[in-house]
Amino acid sequence: MDKIFLKNLRLLTRIGLFEWEKQIEQIIRIDLEVGFDISKAAKTDDVNHSLDYKALSNCIKDYVSDNKHELIETLIENIANLVLVEFKVEYITLSISKPGAIRGSEDVGITITRSN
């Protein structure tokens, strides 16, 4: 299976358990890899047979900006399911992190893999 990736998509969102977190926007970082057969697009040189990277990133941006979550666990599952359904990819490996969320650590986050 071919792999398409998107790295270091940085978005502002409201996420967290504490009241102060719910009042501010925080940066999250998203990395993803999806399984998608690019052979037909490569053979035909036709964009209609490829994965629309811009639409994929806009879909994620829109979801993140339109929704609030307390847990990264909820956010990551919802984005994974959205991408699997909307873009008909074979699988998604998705990482979401909150840079600076833990004092003394550069980053903290979760990585999951889901498939159809």
Catalytic residues: 98
Q: Extract the tokens encoding 62.
A: 């829109």
SS3 content of the chain, % helix, strand, coil (to 5): 35, 30, 30
Q: How far is CA 74 from CA 40, 94, 115, in A?
A: 34, 13, 17
